[in-house]
Amino acid sequence: MQISCPGGIINASTIKQYENCESIFNGIKLYNITGPIDLSSLYNVEYIRGPIDIQNTNLKNLSFLANVGDQKVNSNDENPQIFINLANNTEMTRLGFPLLMEIQNSKSSNMKLANFENLHPDFCLTVEEMAFFLENGIAFKNLQVKICPENRTKIHNTVICTFESMDRLPDGCNLIMGDLIVNPGDEDHFPKLENVRYLFGSLERKLKLSIDTHPDPIEMVYGRYC
């Protein structure tokens, strides 16, 4: 039988209470932590009911939630609740979830909202983390992040390409890193975009011809669409 524990605000004096907890309800809230704190008591947590809310701490990542595989929040579109709120954690450089958990709203059609705000200037999300948020339909109140440098050309079945120009763009790209600029004369290269699902950058078109005809539209993450 799974051991469930009440969550809420957790600090150095209460953290040991969670050593055997496998599920937590009322969320996990860590506020105003500036000194050392051992969060390993949360390693056994697999399910969180409620938000992950971390503000004004010196934490560098969320690796203490290494085994969380499922999070659920009751949220509605009129007053959406933020699932993951990371704000004013100026030493946080990575998300650090070894497992990319399933994020559920109690009503599946309602908005899923996250907030990444005022973190370390080097804070970045991996390609897998950003794709995970997109695939879970997450909207962002603030998304003050970068994409981590990526040297791989393929992750699982996703082909990754770095954009230089339409002429130099390979065929078969599923994910493009960098700003996609389409100039007059690039029309012959449009078939290269047929398999693109994600663009981690902005899309700038300098001609009137539409390139949005393939059935799976590019998921925009940053920048402008013009």
Q: Please report, for the domain that includes residue 103, its CATH number.
A: 3.80.20.20
For residue 12, what pLDDT is reported? 92
Whether residue 134 sits in one domain with residue 61: yes
Whether residue 61 sits in one domain with residue 21: yes
Whether residue 30 sits in one domain with residue 132: yes
Question: For residue range 121-152, what is the model confidence (pLDDT) as tens digits?
Answer: 999 999 888 888 887 888 899 999 998 988 88
For residue 139, what pLDDT is reported? 86
At 49, the pLDDT band (50, 70, 90 cuts) reads very high
Identify the three-state secondary structure at position 195.
coil
Q: For residue 84, give the DSSP letter.
A: E
Please say if the pLDDT value at position 213 is more than 60.
Answer: no
Gap between the Cα atoms of 215 and 224, Å rounded: 21
Residue 1, both tokens = 């039988």
Higher pLDDT, 109 or 161: 161
Whether residue 103 sits in one domain with residue 27: yes
For residue 203, what pLDDT is reported? 83
Residue by residue, DSSP assigns 115-167 as: EEES--TT-EE-HHHHHHHHHTTEEEEEE--EEPP---SEETTEEEEE-S-TT
Residues 6+ apart with CB under 8 A from 64: 39, 40, 42, 43
Whether residue 78 sits in one domain with residue 57: yes
Please say if the pLDDT value at position 114 is more than 80.
Answer: yes
Residues 163-192: what's their mean pLDDT?
Answer: 92
**How many domains does one find in the chain?**
2
Of 92-101, 145-154, 184-193, the least confident? 92-101
For residue 225, what pLDDT is reported? 44
For residue 170, what pLDDT is reported? 96
For residue 218, what pLDDT is reported? 65
Domain termination residue (choose one: 99, 117, 147): 147
Whether residue 210 sits in one domain with residue 125: no
Residue 225, in any domain of the structure? no
Gap between the Cα atoms of 96 and 182, Å rounded: 35
Whether residue 162 sits in one domain with residue 120: no
- The model's pTM: 0.83
Report the share of the chain in percent with pLDDT over 70: 86
Please say if the pLDDT value at position 223 is more than 50.
Answer: no
Whether residue 194 sits in one domain with residue 86: no
Q: Which domain holds residue 171?
A: 154-220
Residue 119, in any domain of the structure? yes
Domain termination residue (choose one: 110, 130, 147): 147
**First-last CA distance in the chain:** 54
Residue 121, in any domain of the structure? yes
Domain termination residue (choose one: 147, 177, 200): 147
Residue 140, in any domain of the structure? yes
C-alpha angle with apex 130: 132 to 143, nearest 5 degrees?
125
For residue 157, what pLDDT is reported? 86
Residue 226, in any domain of the structure? no
Please say if the pLDDT value at position 211 is more than 60.
Answer: no
Question: For residue range 175-185, what is the model confidence (pLDDT) as tens digits?
Answer: 999 889 989 99
